[in-house]
């Protein structure tokens, strides 16, 4: 069974637990990794037996339960010991998390509260990653007020964690919790209603998010390449080692574009493309039915057949072109992208064509660009 899986994380004092509680209030199924970390080492579990075998009976209390303070003294001052402990706990936590997700209702939105989501490289395994963020001084104030830490201790705890910028870089959504609890609740509610509920429906039913029927253009967004990287990692997590490229206008720095990330997954054959359809759907990129072909460039008469998938996430439109390695459509997509990246005159000429036809229905917009693309292809292919 496929359910929408959301990864939730944030630094200490940012308010991740408050966000998790609000997701639950909206109807989410919450899987708390901290709670699972305790569950998998309860007395009598294989996890506790592995921990004792690795670190000795001194980590057990008189009652036979794990003595967390004693274990902490062993691992927190020893990076190697800490990695051994993580090697025991993390697979058990992931397995238990998968069991709980599988037991959720078919229309559930599962929120995985994972403090070390970024550090452990788990981001690509979720359909969406949400990071709760707050200014460092706000986090220090909260830790002093709510947990009784000194300002120095709070600052040290924050500094010991992964850099905030690295955590934000892994996020599809950043919830700023520097303000009031009511503001955070409103942000969670809006995310739930406007994005997660329709995303869940699309994933469950194998549908993609509706596209804009008009050619709405925006200025180049310097975050598009980073967004592409996150999406590619999510795809590769499901399909295994393959080539994925960022193509189209959002892959050309400085070029106006529709706010749609175009990506290309390379396969050895269309039969392989068909065999990957289930994995891509599970990643949140259902296949578009029907026959899709690129428009051949002269003198090739085609057909340049491919498979098309699109993102189920209404908050990030994506076209995923699945093309055979070395095919004319595959070569052309890379050739024109690279040419526009290198030739600013042609990039600006293309931008002028796009802007002249902005706001038209998509098919009319594509038709208007095609003569320019034929000429561009001819220039690009003649370059050494």
**Positions at the binding site for ATP:** 13-18
In residues, how long is the chain? 384
Q: What are phi and psi of 295, to 5 degrees?
A: -80, 120
Q: Which residues belong to the annotated binding site?
A: 13-18
Please, what is the Cα angle at 247 between 307 and 362, to 5 degrees? Answer: 70
Helix 46-55, helix 79-102: angle, nearest 10: 170
266 CB-side CA count, 13 A: 15
Cα 215 off chain centre by: 26
Residue among 199, 170, 191, 195 nearest 310 (CA)? 199
Measured distance CA(11)–CA(14) in Å, rounded: 6
Helix, coil or strand: residue 213: coil
Residue among 3, 22, 28, 183 nearest 99 (CA)? 3
Measured distance CA(306)–CA(300) in Å, rounded: 16
Going by their DSSP bridges, the two strands 29-32 and 109-113 should be labelled as parallel
Residue among 262, 297, 263 nearest 372 (CA)? 297
């Amino acid at each position: 069974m496929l359910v929408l899986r959301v990864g939730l994380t944030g630094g200490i004092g940012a308010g991740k637990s408050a966000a998790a509680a609000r997701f639950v209030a909206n109807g989410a199924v919450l899987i708390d990794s901290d709670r699972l970390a305790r569950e998998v080492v309860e007395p009598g579990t294989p996890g506790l037996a592995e921990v004792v075998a690795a670190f000795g009976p001194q980590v057990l209390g008189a009652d036979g339960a794990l003595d967390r303070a004693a274990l902490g003294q062993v691992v927190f001052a020893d990076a190697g010991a800490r990695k051994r402990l993580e090697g025991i706990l993390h697979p058990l936590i992931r397995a238990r998390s998968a069991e709980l997700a599988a037991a959720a209702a078919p229309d559930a939105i599962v929120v995985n509260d994972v403090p070390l989501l970024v550090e452990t490289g788990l981001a690509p395994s979720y359909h969406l990653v949400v990071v709760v963020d707050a200014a460092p001084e706000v986090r220090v104030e909260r830790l002093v007020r709510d947990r009784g830490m000194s300002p120095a201790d709070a600052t040290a705890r924050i500094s010991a964690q992964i850099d905030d910028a690295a955590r934000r870089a892994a996020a599809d959504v950043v919830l700023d919790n520097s303000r009031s609890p009511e503001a955070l609740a409103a942000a969670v509610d809006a995310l739930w209603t406007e994005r997660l509920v329709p995303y869940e429906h699309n994933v469950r039913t194998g549908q993609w998010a509706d596209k804009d029927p008009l050619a709405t253009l925006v200025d180049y967004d310097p975050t598009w390449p980073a967004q592409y990287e996150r999406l590619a990692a999510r795809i590769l997590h499901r399909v295994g080692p393959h080539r994925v490229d960022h193509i189209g206008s959002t892959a050309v720095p400085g070029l106006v574009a529709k706010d749609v990330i175009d990506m290309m997954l390379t396969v050895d054959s269309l039969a392989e493309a068909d065999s990957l359809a289930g994995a891509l759907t599970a990643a949140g990129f259902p296949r578009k039915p029907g026959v899709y072909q690129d428009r051949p460039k002269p003198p090739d008469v085609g057909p340049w057949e491919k498979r098309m998938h699109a993102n189920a996430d209404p908050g990030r439109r994506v076209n995923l072109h699945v093309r055979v390695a070395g095919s004319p459509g595959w070569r052309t997509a890379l050739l024109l992208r690279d040419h526009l990246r290198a030739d600013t005159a042609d990039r600006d000429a293309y931008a002028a064509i796009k802007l002249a036809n902005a706001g038209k229905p998509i098919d009319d917009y594509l038709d208007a660009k095609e003569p320019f693309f034929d000429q561009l292809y001819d220039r690009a292919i003649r370059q050494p």
